[in-house]
């Protein structure tokens, strides 16, 4: 029987996303991804001072705040040819790496794990059996006693008996697609709660080095605490980011950062990695679901030197087509033939026509809504159906994110990545081809978290070594003045956000922003069809899914959540009167 399944909104994500899927005998044959609220930051930035762009772009999202600030700052630095001091790069790496570990752990436990873990089933678990399972999965984890899991079970029971599941409300509990035994469900619920406690502490790196979280403010004017190795707290003459501050980050502050790094590594090693492998073992058929486009793109990040020298990047830059890990193709941000955005099926308009692709330097953000007025049953997928554009690399839809990065590192021969990938595949008895899937995408996020948690220590050690060696190079303050700028300049700021390849493009004329375009990870992944009617990664990945119960399509959630959507970065509300723009109905 043919039918259209609508999930609106997709929950446990940032932003507003609608998925429609056409099924034949409960198997998805086509799917459409729609961002349902309009984006407008690029419009707001026109005519503004480029030195202020980073503060505006951070407001793309309340989760991805640091990454947009980094991309924006790098775009201006690229346009004006700034040289970045070594310590500034290290602090940025520490901040970005900390965001990865924090973001990925929170996504797994609080956004994605509930697609695989039946919370209510945990009430049936034997705490002794859960204890034995936890000790087998992670012998080094100290929280594995039967009493500990019995206490967790009582907390869940209290939720259920009140008739209100609180943080566990609105799940498809009891769905036949859930496969974990009760003891595994109880273990996962315990670690869900532990992750809530853990994340309160690990965010301290952002508050120490960035001033606050969200929206850290360390990128313009200097770090909030000048770096110092003097136990008394006396600051060195200037901070690593150019500009002294009122307080020094002395040895106590550096020790606090070290404690957070240790805490991150312990949780990842003892809980996150073992949990991922344990849960994946019950869902190995998902190594053949959610394969997507088979094309992968990385911009690269974590420079050890000059940002513009791709050989300095820990995560390489490149493109992989058709799952061919034997060939990595070069990526050029300035090449108008490489990166283009299409609006053929988007609620935007291009002056030259909707079917052309525009490079971000000449990109246009002109709103043109011609869709149905709510309430409506279905999208008009033959015309425009999303507030997201459709980015393409050399005309091809590309997946970005953890899977793209792990595959790129693997293809480039990065030994730690290869060892981790082979360890995971060996434990699950799966071939490398299993990575091209919903399960592989989820596992890749876990594996790269381990990589970056370990890398944090190296950046911390190098920063302290530089300070001890007296390397206190700062920015050239004269470049801050617009009088030193060329009349026209343009630049691209790139980075690897936790959710994938992120870049901002800026055109500066007479000291003001003439054009600004951001192509964010969820635009790459969640974008609609293009002028050639090619589906985006979300849309392609859903094809072939068998829905056990179309009224409770947990299979759709599993694959969409494996990308970790952040639609707030890709679309934005711009109603000046604060009026309700759309009312959604959960079907």
- Rounded to an integer, what distance in angstroms lies between the CA atom of residue 133 and that of residue 54? 47
138 given a catalytic annotation: no
Host H or E run for residue 467: helix 438-468
> Are the beta carbons of 115 and 557 closer than 8 angstroms?
yes
Between the two ends of the chain, the Cα-to-Cα distance in Å is 19
Host H or E run for residue 216: none
Question: What's the CA angle centered on 562, arms 67 and 347, to 5 degrees?
Answer: 70
> Are the beta carbons of 19 and 560 closer than 8 angstroms?
yes
Catalytic-role residue among 522, 529, 539, 561: 522
- Is the link from the previous residue into 400 a cis peptide, with omega within 30 of 0? no
Report how far apart, in Å, the C-alpha atoms of 36 and of each of 364, 450, 507, 585 are: 19, 34, 28, 13
The single-letter DSSP state of residue 563 is T
- Rounded to an integer, what distance in angstroms lies between the CA atom of residue 416 and that of residue 426? 15
Catalytic-role residue among 414, 499, 545, 561: 499
Token readout for 342 is: 């299409």
Question: Could you tell me whether strands 301-303 and 313-315 are parallel, antiparallel, or unpaired per DSSP bridges?
Answer: antiparallel
Phi-psi region of 586 (alpha: psi -120 to 50; beta: other; left: phi over 0): beta
Question: Could you tell me whether strands 390-393 and 339-342 are parallel, antiparallel, or unpaired per DSSP bridges?
Answer: antiparallel
Nearest residue to 531 (alpha-carbon basis) of 373, 389, 332: 389
Backbone dihedral angles phi then psi of residue 79, each to the nearest 5 degrees: -65, -35
Catalytic-role residue among 239, 384, 569, 572: 569
The single-letter DSSP state of residue 34 is E
Backbone dihedral angles phi then psi of residue 34, each to the nearest 5 degrees: -130, 120
Catalytic-role residue among 228, 291, 566, 572: 566
Number of H helices, E strands in the chain: 17, 14
Nearest residue to 114 (alpha-carbon basis) of 579, 561, 572: 561
522 given a catalytic annotation: yes
499 given a catalytic annotation: yes
Catalytic-role residue among 12, 14, 107, 405: 14
18 given a catalytic annotation: no
Tokens 């980011």: give the residue.
241
Catalytic-role residue among 18, 61, 344, 496: 61
311 given a catalytic annotation: no
34 given a catalytic annotation: no
- Rounded to an integer, what distance in angstroms lies between the CA atom of residue 440 and that of residue 291? 9
Catalytic-role residue among 16, 39, 68, 414: 68
- Counting every residue written for the chain, the total comes to 587
Please enumerate in sequence order all residues whose Cβ is within 8 A of that of 560, keeping only pairs 6 or more positions apart, or say none.
10, 13, 17, 19, 538, 542
- Alpha helices, DSSP H only, in 11-118? 41-45, 53-57, 65-80, 86-106
569 given a catalytic annotation: yes
> Are the beta carbons of 27 and 545 closer than 8 angstroms?
yes
Please enumerate in sequence order all residues whose Cβ is within 8 A of that of 490, keeping only pairs 6 or more positions apart, or say none.
79, 361, 505, 506, 507, 508
- Rounded to an integer, what distance in angstroms lies between the CA atom of residue 188 and that of residue 97? 25
Token readout for 306 is: 């000059």
Catalytic-role residue among 34, 39, 64, 539: 64
68 given a catalytic annotation: yes
> Are the beta carbons of 238 and 245 closer than 8 angstroms?
no
Token readout for 28 is: 């998805």
* Residues carrying an active site annotation: 14, 61, 64, 68, 499, 522, 566, 569
């Amino acid at each position: 029987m043919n039918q259209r399944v609508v999930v609106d909104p997709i929950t446990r994500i940032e932003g507003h996303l609608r998925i429609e899927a056409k099924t034949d005998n409960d198997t998805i044959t086509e799917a459409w991804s729609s961002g349902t609220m309009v984006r407008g930051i690029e419009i707001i930035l026109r005519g503004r001072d480029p030195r202020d762009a980073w503060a505006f772009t951070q407001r793309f999202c309340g989760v991805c705040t640091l990454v947009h600030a980094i991309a924006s700052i790098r775009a201006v630095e690229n346009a004006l040819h700034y040289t970045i001091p070594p310590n500034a790069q290290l602090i940025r790496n520490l901040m970005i790496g900390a965001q990865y570990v924090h973001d990925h752990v929170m996504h797994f436990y609080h956004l994605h794990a509930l697609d695989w873990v039946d919370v209510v089933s945990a009430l049936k678990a034997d705490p002794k059996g859960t204890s034995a399972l936890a000790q087998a999965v992670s012998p080094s984890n100290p929280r594995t006693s039967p009493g500990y899991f019995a206490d967790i079970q009582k907390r869940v029971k209290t939720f259920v008996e009140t008739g209100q599941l609180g943080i566990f409300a609105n799940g498809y509990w009891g769905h036949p697609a859930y496969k974990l035994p009760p003891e595994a469900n109880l273990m996962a619920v315990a670690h869900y709660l532990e992750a809530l406690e853990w994340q309160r502490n690990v965010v301290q790196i952002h508050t120490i080095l960035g001033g606050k979280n969200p929206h850290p403010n360390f990128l313009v004017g200097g770090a909030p605490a000048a770096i110092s190795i003097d136990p008394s707290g006396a600051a060195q003459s200037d901070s690593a980011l150019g500009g002294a501050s009122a307080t020094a980050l002395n040895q106590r502050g550096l020790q606090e950062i070290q404690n957070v790094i240790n805490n991150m590594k312990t949780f990842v090693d003892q809980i996150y990695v073992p949990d991922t492998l344990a849960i994946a073992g019950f869902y190995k058929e998902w190594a053949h679901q959610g394969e997507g486009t088979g094309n992968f793109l990385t911009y690269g990040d974590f420079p050890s030197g000059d940002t513009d020298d791709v050989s300095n990047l820990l995560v390489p830059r490149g493109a992989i087509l058709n799952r061919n890990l034997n060939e990595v193709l070069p990526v050029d941000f300035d090449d108008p033939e490489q990166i283009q955005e299409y609006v053929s099926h988007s609620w935007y308009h291009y002056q030259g026509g909707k079917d052309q692709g525009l490079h971000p330097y000449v990109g246009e953000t002109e709103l043109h809504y011609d869709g149905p007025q709510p309430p409506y049953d279905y999208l008009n997928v033959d015309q425009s159906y999303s507030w997201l554009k459709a980015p393409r690399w050399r005309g091809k839809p590309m997946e970005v994110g953890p899977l793209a990065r792990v595959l790129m590192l693997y293809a480039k021969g990065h030994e730690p990545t290869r060892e981790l990938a082979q360890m995971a595949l060996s434990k699950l008895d799966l071939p490398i081809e299993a990575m091209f899937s919903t399960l592989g995408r989820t596992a890749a996020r876990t594996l790269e978290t381990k990589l970056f948690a370990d890398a944090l220590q190296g950046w911390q050690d190098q920063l302290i070594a530089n300070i001890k060696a007296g390397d206190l190079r700062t920015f050239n303050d004269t470049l801050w003045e617009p009088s030193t700028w060329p009349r026209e300049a343009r630049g691209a700021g790139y980075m690897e956000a936790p959710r994938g390849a992120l870049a901002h493009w800026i055109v500066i004329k007479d000291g003001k922003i003439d054009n600004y375009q951001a192509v964010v990870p969820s635009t790459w992944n969640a974008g609609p069809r293009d002028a050639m009617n090619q589906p985006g990664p979300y849309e392609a990945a859903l094809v072939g899914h068998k829905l056990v119960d179309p009224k409770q399509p947990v299979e759709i959630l599993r694959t969409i959540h494996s990308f970790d959507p952040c639609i707030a970065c890709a679309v934005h509300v711009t109603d000046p009167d604060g009026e309700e723009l759309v009312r959604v109905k959960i079907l």
